[in-house]
Amino acid sequence: MKVRATAVAAVRANAIGSVELECTPHGLAVAYLGVGSFSEGYAPGALTQGTRICVPWSEVETARIEGEQMFLALSAEHTPHSRMVLTHFSSGDHAHHREASKQRAVIWIGAVALVGQRRWPRPFRPRGMASARGYGRDAARGRA
């Protein structure tokens, strides 16, 4: 079972962002869904997305539940994002919020494109050269 969580800023953490965790026979699988370096007093670094690592169980240094949070420390040999304070846990069954917003944007763009392709009713059609010629023709005949 996959679990998603958010790594939050904390004194003992060196990473912030969204992660996905999965227990496997070989170790703890960690997928970075948008994780950046964190250090107290510094701006977060570039985000790591789509990276997946498997840390052997012997190299998971600490996994401690502290109220609504979990402190997870991994061996620094596997990843620079080795200490995380995780919160906001959810199942990994639904799309990540960034992926879901991308999907919604594609649907809206497609809907707008379909509406743009639609034939407009006659009173709302844009007037172009054809209507100017018709007006000129009517004016010449004395109907304008």
CATH number of the domain where residue 33 is located: 2.30.29
Residue 128 within any structural domain of the chain:
no
Could you count the other beta carbons within 10 Å of the beta carbon of residue 20?
Answer: 17
- Residue 141 located in a structural domain: no
Domain of residue 83: give its range.
2-91
Among positive and negative, which fits the CA dihedral 58, 22, 1, 16? Answer: positive
- The model carries a pTM of 0.60
pLDDT, tens digit, for every residue of 64-119? 998 889 999 999 888 888 899 999 988 866 655 666 676 677 776 766 665 665 55
Flag whether 104 is in a domain: no
**Which residue type occupies 100?**
A
CB 33 within 8 A of CB 20: yes
Question: What SS3 state is found at 136?
Answer: helix
The percent of residues in the chain predicted with pLDDT above 70, rounded, is: 62
Residue 133: is its pLDDT beyond 80?
A: no
Q: Is residue 71 part of a domain?
A: yes
- Tally of domains in the chain: 1
**Who has greater pLDDT, 138 or 9?**
9
